[in-house]
Amino acid sequence: MQRRDALKHTALFFGYAVSISALSETFMACSNQATLSWKPEFLTNNQANTVAEITETILPKTKTPGAKELGVPQFVDKMLKDLLSEDEQKDFLAGLDTFDKACEEANGKAFVDCTPEQRTEFLLKQDQEAAKLPPSIWGIRLAAPGPTAFFRRLKELTLLGYFTSEKVGKTILAYDPVPGRYIACMPLAAGEKAWNE
């Protein structure tokens, strides 16, 4: 074997070894990142993944579609970007960070890594401890919500996104786009949908 060939083969061997280890590290780093089927406008991918899991835990898929299926996380992301003031956005992100840290303290792992039972238990605890949002008239808050109102705001946006979605309005709720005359006490037929079901 020639010296030149030996050096070439050694260089190729080390190049492959370095490339394979670098490539495997890249794949490992990517596997820990959130995988989303949509691109968030305001949140980071990890934040959007956490919000998606929270919304899906609040409104999971049963006989009716879940929050993720209806695009509620995208709705929340869009609302955060377009409708909240800069201070409210900062409060929301701080609340999301505090939420995830509290989950790590309670369960030893981030919210997205918890089991469905741990997620439900943690959200029920957050719901009981969360500060109430101040009243609003036509979406305008009568007082500024405090930073502890993160979970209430996210829950409010989740429910708003869910119940105003086209699929829920047309297939789950009894939606009549052009109402007829007003009947105060109208009996429902068996199996007919009502708003409170």
Give the mean pLDDT per block of 10 residues along the chain (197 residues): 66 54 42 67 93 94 91 94 89 91 92 93 88 66 60 90 88 71 76 64
Residue 68, token pair as written in the block: 């993720």
| Alpha-carbon radius of gyration of the chain | 24
Mean pLDDT of the chain: 79
Closest CA to 59 of 194, 156, 148, 169: 156
In 3-state terms, what secondary structure has residue 163? helix
Residue 110, token pair as written in the block: 């981030």
Helices (H), the chain: 3-32, 45-58, 72-83, 86-107, 116-129, 150-163, 166-167
**pTM for the structure as a whole:** 0.68
Q: What is the pLDDT of residues 103-124, one digit of tens each?
A: 999 999 999 999 999 999 999 9
